[in-house]
Every structure is written in structure tokens, then in C-alpha cells.
Amino acid sequence: MSRRGAYLVAAFLLAALSAVLGVAGVDALRWRGHLEGEDARFAAFRPVAWEANQLLPRQPVRRALGVEDDIAYREALTLFRLGRPTQQARDQGDLAVRAQADVELAGAASLTDDPVVRSRVATLRGVLAFEEARGSGPRAQAAIRRTLDAFRSAMLLDPANESAKYDLELVMRLLSPSEKEQERRRRNRQRSGSPGSGAGSSSGSTGF
């Protein structure tokens, strides 16, 4: 390739890079304040779009900005709400949405080291487990254990999480004397190092 040809190729590549950077700058601007605005819409029970409208394919700006965990958490919150977890399930569809919400909440927690967010996730998973426990059958007791472990985990992660404290106290009041005794023994076994599902295994005020 001649020197002139090399210059032309270099100029073309620089122009292309400049164009990509320009588009990336536009994408970055579209993320500015986007999640905060959608949070307000979500709080007002309006339709939301957690993903900003991006020009570049494969969302490189989103990854560069490090909002993957924020989006995962908010998408899990959306499923949590769609599952109507504090109301009686209407059909198997509600139960399926709740199950998927639990999976996505666990995934969102794995993406962040923020103890406050992880505490909120644990609280929400506790609510889901409690709704499962309200059914009858052999799985109810295991669901109660997950409920209590989730709320305790939430309190350990964020001692200021009043929702977890309130929910834990409420669930404990709802237990029968025999269930409370079983829970006391289980907690004692956990403290002594026996195998079991500890608080760390669990997957604003919620209440029931």
C-alpha cells in the first residue's frame, strides 16, 4: 500500500472512530437521569422502560456505565409487583411470576456488593417465601424457614432496614407455640454449627 493509501485508511478509521464516539456520547446522555425518571414512574404505577433508548448495538455504553446491576434489580422489582405477592394468588400465572421474581431477585443480589440493596432483596424474597408458606402442605414449613432466614439476613445486611424488622416480628407473632419452639431449636443448632439453612442462604416498609 502506498503512503497516500495508508493516510487515506488512517483518516477513514479516525473518522469512523470519531463517529462511534459521538454516538456513544449521545447514548451516555440518554442514560443521564433515565433510571431516576423511571423510578418516579414506577412509584406512580405508570409503565416503565428501564432500558434507555440506545443507538449503538449490544449496549456498550450501559456496560461501561456499570448500570447492569441497577437494571437487574429494577426488573426484578417489576416482576415482584406483577406477582401481587401480598394478595391471594388468582391462578398459576401469579405463582409462576412470583417464582420468577424470586429467581431474578437472587440474580440481582449476586450482581451487587451494596448491602442496602442486598438487604432490600432479602426482604422481598422473605415476602415471597411467606406467601408460599401460607399454603398448606409439607412445603409450608420449609417456606416459613426461608421467610425467617430472609428477614434475618436483611437485618444483618442493613440494620436500618425497618421493613425486615417489622416483617420478622409479624411472622414470629403468627407462628404457633410449637412452631416457635421448632424455630428456637433450629436457630440454636445453626449457632452451634450444625448444618441448616442460615440467614446467608436466603436467597422501604413492606409488611403484610
Condensed to tens digits (0 to 9), the pLDDT of residues 24-69 reads 788 888 999 999 999 999 999 999 999 999 888 878 888 889 899 9
Res 13: pLDDT: 78
Contact 155, 168 (CB under 8 A): yes
Let me know whether 58 and 72 are in one domain.
no
Asked which of 40, 66, 92 is the last residue of a domain, the reply is: 66
**What is the pLDDT at residue 146?**
93
Global confidence as pTM = 0.78
Same domain (yes/no): 76, 17 = no
pLDDT of residue 1: 66
At residue 110, the pLDDT reads 96
Within this chain, do residues 101 and 57 fall inside the same structural domain, yes or no?
Answer: no
> Does one domain contain both 55 and 81?
no
- CA–CA gap between residue 36 and residue 42 (Å, rounded): 10
Do 39 and 133 reside in the same domain of the chain? no
Q: How many domains does the chain have?
A: 2
pLDDT at 50: 94
- Which residues in the chain land under pLDDT 50? 195-208
Same domain for 157 and 175, yes or no, is yes
Using CA atoms, how far apart are residues 24 and 79, in angstroms rounded to an integer?
Answer: 30
Domain match, 56 and 73 both: no
From the list 111, 190, 107, the residue with the least C-alpha distance to 156 is 190
Domain residue limits at 100: 68-208
- Given 22, 48, 66, the domain boundary residue is 66
Sequence-separated (6 or more) residues with CB below 8 Å from residue 91: none
Q: Which of 34, 49, 66 is the C-terminal boundary of a domain?
A: 66
Indicate if 8 and 22 belong to the same structural domain: yes
96 and 41 share a domain? no
